[in-house]
Amino acid sequence: MLADGLPEDWKQVLQDAIHAPSFKELERFLREQRAEHTVFPSEADMFSAFRLTPYADVRVLLLGQDPYHGPKQAHGLAFSVQPGVPPPPSLVNMFKELQSDVGAPKPRDGSLIPWAKQGVLLLNTVLTVRQAEPNSHAKHGWEQFTDAVIRAVSEKPDPVVFLLWGKPAQKKKSLIDAKRHVVMEGTHPSPLSASKGFFGSKPFSETNAALEARGQKSIDWRLPG
């Protein structure tokens, strides 16, 4: 079953989503897709974000859209690529802003696993994709599941910082209790839009300031160089 890859803590808070008809349909769709096409990430990596960031530990939710669709890139974490793989353009721009914002040195690769281990849930709205076909798995059931994830994080008693970059991510704002949590909307770091507001927005230091103001530990955004 598709949900077998989810850790138990996440299964508990996502019970309704896992048993929804849309999830059963998604399961059937993915079985067919993997039989007929190359699909990223691998089945083993599909729920990496949930394994690396337990529900109780989520302090930041950074919302992406679609997994990378090139070989050896996607591994289940939004914006991140597998260890040893050079960062794609959007991630390069994130690292430029990271250096400008908090003085973090240029990382050696594009893996964001250290962020995930500190409580940054790196969630895409769609968790799989066909090779070389962006958005090919959109509107097949993933959105209902990841909406449920956002709602579940919004139900946490402790404040969480939600980072919504770009219009598709910002459309999810209605799923979040903005009275209890911090919602930071901004420009997407893609090459098409980064110069229109992402650069200079200081999302990393502002996230830490918001966490600290609410008695939470800040994130060490530096990555291995």
* 140 within domain boundaries: yes
Domains identified in the chain, total number: 1
Distance CA 219, CA 115 (A): 8
66 is catalytic: yes
Residue 106 lies in a domain: yes
Calpha distance 33→129 (Å, rounded): 9
Phi, psi torsion values for 60, nearest 5 degrees: -135, 140
The answer to whether residues 95 and 40 touch, using CB atoms and an 8 Å cutoff, is no
Query: Is 198 a member of any domain?
Result: yes
Catalytic residue among 16, 66, 109, 220: 66
pTM: 0.98
Range of the domain at 27: 8-213
Asked whether residue 220 is domain-assigned, the answer is no
Structural domain contains residue 168: yes
Mean pLDDT by 10 residues, the chain (225 residues): 96 98 98 98 98 98 97 97 95 98 96 98 98 97 98 97 96 97 97 97 98 96 93
Q: What is the pairing mode between strands 39-40 and 129-130? A: antiparallel
Q: Is residue 94 part of a domain?
A: yes
The pLDDT value given to residue 225:
83
Give the whole-angstrom CA distance, residue 111 versus residue 81: 5
Q: What is the CATH number of the domain that holds 22?
A: 3.40.470.10
Q: Is residue 223 part of a domain?
A: no
CB-count exposure of residue 79 (10 Å: 0-12, 13-18, 19+): buried
Burial class (CB in 10 A: 0-12, 13-18, 19+), 129: buried
